[in-house]
Structure 1
């Protein structure tokens, strides 16, 4: 009886406390569902923007860490839930804060804080333009934080965070889930539009992977719970501004005082994203699932650096190629120097190019000057004295230095620093790949001057190759083995009879073609096998037509008013173009050179039509278009080239136009993560007018026939109409046209404000026949466009390898091999990673290259953790189940 009375008294006390707490909660207008608030502290990391990257890194290593350690050490005596912890991204912590430039004394303090959990790394390297990358780049990106965790004996982080960039490809749930990461927090720039996600939800990728996601329309979230937060555990994501550093002890005390006053009865925990993730997942919350893609509304920035973005798109798939070729050549008995360390550096530099800041804040540059004013600014920048040893602080006392905004020369250098990252990747990979291919050519059993043609894809394919000794001459290679090679002696390379003419219409084995020398493109392209006209005859454009747009304040202001949530101040500065001349002074202009010369070359390999613009109206020194029609393959390559583009700060952009003849078109865009139908798969609030394509786009009609397009060089495309300075919540393309973006200066924040120089970009188009499996076709042809056949050359005595050889292969087309080499997560054995691209759920067999004996394949996740039982390798092969759009990784031993 006493026990019952005691329990009853305890119940009354607890019930009374709960009732009082509930009344207090209601009085303060707090979400009554929330019982625990997890406060996570972080600053937004910009690679540049606020300063040169080297100066940002120095601040992180020194000033920011000193400030963070001061707060950490002061709060060390507090109860665990009140101890300050600072969350940082993986790359700056691993490469800079703990890097070789750190002092031993500070590093010891940092390491102590890491071990005790008060300096905390999340799973991603930093904020990225995710859709600008390729698969293995993203995977290597999660390796920085896992390397830190493993070094200090900590569990791998299960949470990730990105800030500022409004929207990301749906590769993220697939990437994170398959890496053992369970929670993602995304916070938007305060002025940008954002995806209309629920506050807390399951984000599902194309492969069916789901990750818990919290999306906030600001960098983070307030300590006070939102009214409709669906769980007991709430995340207060406390963000300081761009490279601002940690909060002070006084700011933290103020936060706690506010919580004590305004959040009675709610438990406050200082902690980590992982702490929150574990707590909320333990609730087993009933949350909505969102399956959809979020094209980036900032993605136009890629083509503000068109030359380096072309370089990035070309070289990133070759990182995986170098990895696999090097491993195979070692198994074939060719002695080679290790390449893993160089490859790791290449991946790192590639990621740094994809980081979301591309230079210093444009307020430090000629943001508001137009006409000749910004050119005078450039002259002044060139006249500035160079700092000693790169020390721009030394310029502060010179007349050329404006202490409010920084050196002009420094601002310009910040853009070149950004470009240099992908140049570094290109230099590393190109050099190593060139060396390996030439060594392979030297090793084949061909005497004298010879070459090898290597296939970087794991399925058999054919293709057209330029003669490495005679530029401008081509030959066609049939059926190069999967991940293998074929070789030729010099005297076996014969192009055949060459004829030339200036005809504007001619016939190829697959097409009848008519050129319009006023528009500079194809106005009729008839597929011989079906008689179909492939060009939309009602369009104002021609296939391959070059279009330059110069925008007025009408278009810029219309976009700004539709997109920006901050209508003045920095919002206007970032997303508008303040100071731009009125539309009455500089109106909108759509320009295409209206006179072209044509020269057509016919060989037994290809028919090539070269168009040269007669006039350029001052937009460049010259334009050329080259249309290549192979005689052994059903596609057309279109290459645009500009000679000395005129730099201009007026809003502008360039396109290649592709108006296709497809009725009631259905679009399929080969996006990173999986293909989308833009009519149904795009989350509202994201980019519907311009997006990056991993492969390309197919446009089909009811019987599945249609046209498809892919570019080896240019990632951005618009559907239906050109898509610069446009934003809509609900736009869906209805016209069967594709516009490939060549360049633009749409950004006004920290991206290049003008483009200049000489470069080229290419696009491949091909017809889709009735009943075609659209995704299979787009995947195969898209990746064959992006990963062409490669060549190596040698002379002298013959080697010992056979003239032809097969490498690693997969049983079905459309499965990429993104890694085949040394494991970056330090597992003993050879890492093999595959990524399904064609949307097939089925068993896959892998045939390994002859020369190295493997006995088992152990499944691991994307961070190298064992995820299944070993599979026995039988006769150099093994079989496993691979889901649609999913990765699969193995350690081969």
Structure 2
């Protein structure tokens, strides 16, 4: 128990894009605050313990500053960073676990602008949010960041260790970052520090120092104290606290510091005392907020699908020899482009979509009065701004994707009849056979797109309209036989015909695809209900919840199309006006598709809505996809992180000890509860008595900033299939297939593109491949991501028309040229390799 010999006061603001004010207003003010910090550094430049020092908690406002400010001001900033007066951290914003690996890449790649301005970034700082995706460790290290400060909010969750302390967090690839698990940044205001209330601050800081000195597990001789709170405008008032403290406590001096300097101070102790090393997901207790805005989260996920599809289509079109591109004469949603972007405009639009996605990923969500004044103008306007990020990303992402498809398909110029067919693009590196939904005459039809080549296009006749069958509770295809039980609200039996294997747990209370409402038990005296919703937290276990099933209202209907059959039932339940569920089976693929459309009124009492998937998998465990990684729920997690619920990317698997089980994907809803319904248990150990996987589509179990209620109609889509010997790589591939599904487009007239575009990657089962248009009209960026627990030797080859030069970039270990115009590289375990392709 070493004596605290020094106190470091860290001046910063906690960066919320909203909360205290409209996101529109707050975002601009944060950008302008950078200039204010420079002026404060000039006004309080006298060397000494109370010299003004500042940390920019996130990179976004500084990035905007270096891009737009006069050069002399950018140089002032860079000089202050070099002098140790200012730290700029590497996280774009304080992010939720919605963020995917592509958005992580987009955020860290922007740090190059800081490097070009002479600003070194050494640390990432994350505030408020109670978790961060495991794959972020690998992404941080790739960006040259090996230190992370997590200033967790103590409300509504648990830290993995006692705050404050230090530990090493090992990523999926075995590389680690040092984590300083800090106190909550909000003590800066609670203790009177940011307002210069010297007496109040003195009392709190003295008590804090005593607590640290009494801890046997705190070997650090320094105390780090935050001078910050939500969206605080930069001031120098906290310098008065330093002066007062040093005048009254000369035995324990205090000085201002940046976060970089603070970590420089504690790291040697962490290394000397062998701070613990932990490995796994930092599962966020606050991620249930993603279920407070189900419709908007689904739109956001659709937006990034469009953006990624557009990148691939533009990239492939760029590598192939130029062909005429037809344009439309009406600016319309279902039409092609009226103009084509040049390389600069395309790059700018894709960057703008990335920005909008990142702003939606950001943790603030709604206003501080979302619960206390759910109907206020501020609450409404604030959410309009937040949802606008997803809407903008969707609109521009879709527009880019449509133009990319039109560019890739081209115009053969060969004349001939105007035949209407369906072009299906495969935006991934593996051949695929999957169902796609095609819009014909404003109605959706299902097409089983067979053998669509990797990075290629296959053509199909327009699918016929499905023919209705008789009302029935059972349907069958060559692969499956399915039976619906109205008493269980969904599928009671789904038998794999070739093996006789039953996929649905016969003892489950709810059928597969059933919609279940969860409410607080009647008469509950839990303080969450009787006092304040803030008491939904680990310190107040509970409350007790009861489940109510959406009951079927009539006999299910059936329909049949070429190679597929579907069954649909309607139901209603507590606070559910209508539920319409469709399950579709196929003859030629093992995939099962489920679509659930929910219509409900707004409800302000605590509630949750689930879609049940009670799989029959004995001896089970769950693999879950997070950003850039797959983790085993309960086992590969930091201590005391959330096990009641998880926010996943798109895929999961429930498997037995041999890896036999079910692969499951969710297009629209990220939240799951595994093995059971766990709401209110605040578990320290994951218990999975069943193989059930519950999609948690909606809830309002919050006390601030998330939506207090949600109503209207939303649709949730799922896809699953049985598998054997499943592992992490299978989950990653399914997640990519759901994120980047086969992309259909109905086309009339002759086109130039069919078959493979010409880009080949081997072995496609061991890597994921990202494509994006590069800086000019001839350049394409290729990124290979390893999905195995070992290095992956890979080959990239161009076999299409024209000449394309391939070159291995700096990220990874190049393996040379194979002598046939291909490039061989070694993709490190769970890492990436970048290549450039250029049409010559």
1:688 pairs, out of 630, 634, 643, with: 643
Mapped to 2, the partners of 1:122 and 1:508 lie a distance apart of 56
TM-score between both structures, scaled by the size of structure 1: 0.80
Partner of 2:167: 201
Distance change (3 Å), C-alpha of 1:740 and 1:808: same
Whether the 8 Å contact between 2:134 and 2:172 is mirrored in structure 1 is: yes
**Equivalence map 1:562-601=2 (5 Å):** 572=532, 574-576=534-536, 588=546, 590-601=548-559
Distance change (3 Å), C-alpha of 1:145 and 1:884: closer
Whether the 8 Å contact between 1:39 and 1:237 is mirrored in structure 2 is: yes
Partner of 1:273: 259
Greater mean alpha carbon deviation, residues 678-687 or residues 653-662: 678-687
**Residue 265 (structure 1) shift:** 7.5
In structure 1, stretches of 5+ residues that fail to align are 1-25, 368-377, 379-407, 562-567, 861-866
Mapped to 1, the partners of 2:788 and 2:525 lie a distance apart of 39
Which secondary structure does the structure 1 equivalent of 2:242 belong to? helix
Partner of 1:853: 804
Partner of 1:385: none
Partner of 1:287: 275
1:138 aligns with 2:126: no
Distance change (3 Å), C-alpha of 1:890 and 1:269: farther
Distance change (3 Å), C-alpha of 1:875 and 1:81: farther
Partner of 1:461: 432
**Residue 320 (structure 1) shift:** 2.9
Partner of 1:252: 239
**Residue 486 (structure 1) shift:** 1.8
Mapped to 2, the partners of 1:802 and 1:592 lie a distance apart of 46
Mapped to 2, the partners of 1:552 and 1:99 lie a distance apart of 55
Partner of 2:654: 699
Mapped to 2, the partners of 1:105 and 1:55 lie a distance apart of 26
Mapped to 1, the partners of 2:246 and 2:676 lie a distance apart of 51
In structure 2, stretches of 5+ residues that fail to align are 188-204, 326-339
2:448 pairs, out of 476, 497, 510, with: 476
2:312 pairs, out of 324, 344, 349, with: 324
Deviations along 1:287-331, one digit per CA (max 9) or x if unpaired, are 321112121101111111111111222232443332232122011
**Equivalence map 1:833-844=2 (5 Å):** 833-844=783-794
Partner of 1:679: 634
TM-score between both structures, scaled by the size of structure 2: 0.85
1:783 aligns with 2:736: yes
Mapped to 1, the partners of 2:75 and 2:827 lie a distance apart of 45
RMSD: 3.5
Partner of 2:476: 507
Which secondary structure does the structure 2 equivalent of 1:426 belong to? helix
Mapped to 2, the partners of 1:555 and 1:295 lie a distance apart of 29
Deviations along 1:854-891, one digit per CA (max 9) or x if unpaired, are 2521223xxxxxx7679547534322222343233345
1:76 pairs, out of 45, 49, 52, with: 45
Whether the 8 Å contact between 1:167 and 1:194 is mirrored in structure 2 is: no
**Residue 748 (structure 1) shift:** 2.2
**Residue 216 (structure 1) shift:** 2.1
Partner of 1:528: 497
Distance change (3 Å), C-alpha of 1:874 and 1:132: farther
Deviations along 1:242-299, one digit per CA (max 9) or x if unpaired, are 11233424x2142254257546487x66443333445555675433211121211011
**Residue 109 (structure 1) shift:** 6.8
1:179 aligns with 2:118: no
1:877 aligns with 2:822: yes
**Residue 433 (structure 1) shift:** 0.4
**Residue 620 (structure 1) shift:** 4.0
Mapped to 2, the partners of 1:235 and 1:848 lie a distance apart of 57
**Equivalence map 1:40-189=2 (5 Å):** 40-62=10-32, 64-65=33-34, 68-78=37-47, 82-95=51-64, 97=65, 113=80, 118-129=85-96, 131-150=97-116, 152-155=117-120, 157-189=121-153
Whether the 8 Å contact between 2:570 and 2:580 is mirrored in structure 1 is: yes
Mapped to 1, the partners of 2:244 and 2:139 lie a distance apart of 40
Partner of 1:430: 398
Whether the 8 Å contact between 2:602 and 2:709 is mirrored in structure 1 is: yes
Partner of 2:366: 359
Which secondary structure does the structure 2 equivalent of 1:236 belong to? strand
Whether the 8 Å contact between 1:362 and 1:751 is mirrored in structure 2 is: no
Distance change (3 Å), C-alpha of 1:52 and 1:628: same
Which secondary structure does the structure 2 equivalent of 1:142 belong to? helix
Mapped to 2, the partners of 1:869 and 1:454 lie a distance apart of 30
Whether the 8 Å contact between 1:442 and 1:793 is mirrored in structure 2 is: no
Mapped to 1, the partners of 2:669 and 2:371 lie a distance apart of 29
Partner of 1:13: none
Mapped to 2, the partners of 1:560 and 1:184 lie a distance apart of 37
Whether the 8 Å contact between 2:473 and 2:555 is mirrored in structure 1 is: no
Deviations along 1:98-146, one digit per CA (max 9) or x if unpaired, are 676x7999889767756765443210112110x2111010121124444
**Residue 171 (structure 1) shift:** 1.8
Deviations along 1:49-94, one digit per CA (max 9) or x if unpaired, are 10111222343345x4575345311222325994523434111222
**Residue 649 (structure 1) shift:** 0.6
Mapped to 2, the partners of 1:229 and 1:480 lie a distance apart of 58
Partner of 2:591: 635
Which secondary structure does the structure 1 equivalent of 2:556 belong to? strand
**Residue 836 (structure 1) shift:** 2.4
1:602 aligns with 2:590: no
Mapped to 2, the partners of 1:218 and 1:650 lie a distance apart of 29
Partner of 1:723: 678
Partner of 1:656: 611
Greater mean alpha carbon deviation, residues 808-817 or residues 349-358: 808-817
Which secondary structure does the structure 1 equivalent of 2:158 belong to? coil
Partner of 1:795: 748
Distance change (3 Å), C-alpha of 1:546 and 1:463: same
Deviations along 1:151-183, one digit per CA (max 9) or x if unpaired, are x2233x010101111122212211111211011
Which secondary structure does the structure 2 equivalent of 1:242 belong to? coil
**Equivalence map 1:387-466=2 (5 Å):** 408-443=376-411, 448=418, 449-466=420-437
Q: Could you say which structure has the higher strand fraction?
A: 2
